[in-house]
Copies of this chain bind each other. A is one copy, B any other.
Amino acid sequence: MTFKFNNVYINETATITGPYESNGPLGKYFDLCHKDLYFGEKNFEEAEIHLINEAINTLLKKSKMDITSVDAFIGGDLLNQIVASNYAMMKVNKSFIGIYSACSTATLGLILGGALIDGGFLNKVIAFTSSHNAAAEKQYRYPVEYGGPKPKTTTFTSTGGVAALLSKDAGNIKIESGTIGEVVSSGVKDVFNMGAVMAKAAADTIYKHLQDTGRDISYYDLVLTGDLGVYGMKIFREYMLSEYNIKLKNYNDTGVMLYDIENQPVYAGASGPACAPLVTYGYIFDKMRKGKYKKVLLAATGALMSPTMVNHKLSIPSTCHAVSLEVIS
C-alpha cells in the first residue's frame, strides 16, 4: 500500500550517536557524538532513553522551535515494550503514537507522520527512533560482557537517537510518497544472519513501491536499503534480479555505510532502528542538499525477531517500509 503525499516535508533532523558511530566514516555528519555507551546514565536502557530525549532537544534547538508547537510524536525502538520511547515520552507531555517495526521503525514513522499531516490532522510532528548496542545485545542475544564469539554474518546494533521534524511547510527534504510493507516469512531461523532474514522483505516492498507508482528503478538516483549488511546486500541484489528482473545500479545499504567494516569490530555491518536514519539524515541529506542526489528511495528493513519464538524454533518474520525522498531546490 503506497501513500502519495501532496505536501509533507522533513524540515529538520537531529542525529546523536555513540563512540562506534562517531569513529566510523560518517562521524562528522552527526550532530552529537558521545564517547561512551552510558551518556551519564546508570544503565544501558536509561542511556537509550537519554539518546531519544537528547535527539528531540537537539532537533528543537536546530529548528529554533519550542516543544509547545509540536502536535504529536511518533516513535519506537528495539527494546521490549518500546520502553526507551515510552520513558522518553514521559518527559515530553505530548500525544504519542508508539510503533513497533524493529529496524524499519524510522520509515514507518515518516509514512504515518506524513499521512497525518497530509490528511490534515496534524501540523507539526516529530518522528523519532533509537537503538543502543549494549541494551539490544543484552535483550536479544547475550550480555556483551560474555564475549561470546559470533559468526561473520552477524550485524552490530548501532547506538543512536534520531529525530525528524515533519510539517507541510516546504523546506529541506520532501517526503513524496511512502510504501507500507507486509510481514514476510523469511524461512530463516538464524539470529546471527539478519541480512538473510530481511532481504526478501526489502525486495518485495521496493517492487510494490515501483508497481504502485508506475516507476522504473532508474527513477531514483539512489536506492538505499537498511540494514542488510554485507551478506544481506548480496542476497537482496540477487533476489531482485532473479525474482523481479531488476538490476540495481545506484544502490547502497545503510548497514554497510555506517561503519568502516574492515577496521571496526562490526562483523557484517550496522543494524538497529537508528542505522537507516543516522546514515540518511546525517550523510545522505547533506549530499542531497549539495546536489549529488535528487531522488532517493529509502527502504528500511526490520527483522521482527523474538528470542521466545526463536526458542519455539519458528522462522523469523521481517518487513520493510520505503519512503521516496526528494530535495527541495
One digit per residue, 1 when the CB lies within 8 angstroms of any chain B CB and 0 when it does not, for chain A 67-82 equals 0000110001001111
Which positions 63-99 of chain A face chain B at CB distance < 8 Å? Answer: 71-72, 76, 79-83, 86-87, 89-90, 92-99
Partner among B42, B93, B308 whose Cβ is within 8 Å of the Cβ of A80: B308
Could you tell me if A102 and B81 are in contact, using CB atoms closer than 8 angstroms? Answer: yes
Partner among B42, B81, B180 whose Cβ is within 8 Å of the Cβ of A95: B180
Could you tell me if B98 and A309 are in contact, using CB atoms closer than 8 angstroms? Answer: no
Which positions 178-212 of chain A face chain B at CB distance < 8 Å? Answer: 179-185
Could you tell me if B119 and A87 are in contact, using CB atoms closer than 8 angstroms? Answer: no
Query: How many A residues, CB 8 Å from partner?
Result: 56
Is A217 in contact with chain B by the CB < 8 A criterion? no
Which positions 107-129 of chain A face chain B at CB distance < 8 Å? Answer: 108, 112, 115-116, 118-122
Partner among B87, B181, B308 whose Cβ is within 8 Å of the Cβ of A317: B87
Q: How far is the CB of A257 from chain B (nearest CB, A)?
A: 26
- Taking CB atoms, residues of chain B closer than 8 Å to A180 are 72, 95-97
Tell whether A45 pairs with B102 under 8 Å between CB atoms, given A90-B184, A108-B97, A317-B87: no
Q: How far is the CB of A94 from chain B (nearest CB, A)?
A: 6
Is A314 in contact with chain B by the CB < 8 A criterion? yes
Is A236 in contact with chain B by the CB < 8 A criterion? no
Q: How far is the CB of A188 from chain B (nearest CB, A)?
A: 13
Tell me, in angstroms, the Cα distance from A122 to B139 when the chains sit together. 36
- Taking CB atoms, residues of chain B closer than 8 Å to A46 are 312, 314
Could you tell me if B309 and A96 are in contact, using CB atoms closer than 8 angstroms? Answer: no
Partner among B3, B83, B108, B305 whose Cβ is within 8 Å of the Cβ of A81: B305
Q: How far is the CB of A34 from chain B (nearest CB, A)?
A: 20
- Taking CB atoms, residues of chain B closer than 8 Å to A93 are 182
Could you tell me if B81 and A100 are in contact, using CB atoms closer than 8 angstroms? Answer: yes
Is A1 in contact with chain B by the CB < 8 A criterion? yes
Tell me, in angstroms, the Cα distance from A100 to B75 when the chains sit together. 10
- Taking CB atoms, residues of chain B closer than 8 Å to A301 are none
Is A133 in contact with chain B by the CB < 8 A criterion? no
Could you tell me if A309 and B87 are in contact, using CB atoms closer than 8 angstroms? Answer: yes
- Taking CB atoms, residues of chain B closer than 8 Å to A185 are 90
Is A172 in contact with chain B by the CB < 8 A criterion? no
Is A218 in contact with chain B by the CB < 8 A criterion? no
Partner among B81, B112, B317 whose Cβ is within 8 Å of the Cβ of A86: B317
Is A43 in contact with chain B by the CB < 8 A criterion? yes
Taking CB as reference atom, which chain B residue is nearest A305? B81
Taking CB as reference atom, which chain B residue is nearest A204? B93
Could you tell me if B181 and A96 are in contact, using CB atoms closer than 8 angstroms? Answer: yes
Task: With A83-B308, A97-B180 given, name 16 new contacts (CB 8 A).
Answer: A1-B94, A45-B309, A46-B314, A72-B180, A81-B304, A83-B306, A87-B309, A87-B314, A87-B317, A89-B183, A90-B317, A93-B182, A95-B180, A96-B181, A98-B99, A118-B119
